Structure 1
């Protein structure tokens, strides 16, 4: 995974996911986000960082639309308009973030191997807090 900072879109996978959202029909963008969340939640074995990065990016997009959410301003985020996400995506995003933070998560493992692990964990916790409000 190419990563250049701890932001939710500061890695190759999330940037590619943003491009995938931009390529999708406007009416399909929520389904793309939902799929990323569900795939992460339903992973039974070791969670690959690829799926985890897409789930974190999806959760960040949902949280950005909520009160207290941080606007997504990075150039690596989707450039085309996103729909107002359905409220039913919020609990899915929370579940996906919980899955990303389990010991069977490659993304968590990779971050914990760096000095930025605690900061990254806090950024995920902050997303979750917004989603739970």
Structure 2
């Protein structure tokens, strides 16, 4: 995974996911986001970093539509607008983020070993807080 910064889309895999969303029909984009989140939530064993970064990007897209959520303005996010996402994705996104920061998680290991683990976890925590608040 090529990573150039700590943002939710600042890696090759998340950028590719954005491209996949742009290439999907408008009616399928919410389903792609749901699948990315659900795949991570269902993972009981070692969580691969590629799956985790896609879930984080998906969660950021859901959070962007929540009250208090930050818009995704990076050039590595989707270029095409997303439809209004189902409200139930908010709770699923919280679950996915909880799984990403729980062991065994390759992405958690990589950030911790790289020395930026605390800063990365803070970003995930802010994202989770917006989602949890909106999920009720």
What's the TM-score once normalised by structure 2's chain length?
0.96
Give the Cα separation in 2 of the matches to 1:41 and 1:77: 22
- Tell me which residue corresponds to 2:38: 38
TM superposition outliers: structure 1 runs of 4+ over 4 Å: none
| SS class of match (1:125) | helix
The yes-or-no answer on 1:20 pairing with 2:20 is yes
d(CA) in 1 for partners of 2:20 and 2:72? 17
Q: CA deviation at 1:43?
A: 1.0
Give the Å deviation of 1:115: 2.1
5+ unaligned residues in a row in structure 2: which ranges?
none
SS in 2 for 1:113: helix
What CA distance in whole angstroms lies between the structure 1 residues aligned with 2:96 and 2:75? Answer: 24
SS at match of 2:114: coil
| Paired positions, count | 133
More moved, 6-15 vs 110-119: 110-119
Quote the residue 2:92 is aligned against: 92
Gaps in structure 1 of 5+ consecutive residues? none
After superposition, the CA RMSD in angstroms is 0.6
Q: What is the distance in 2 between the residues matched to 1:65 and 1:41?
A: 21
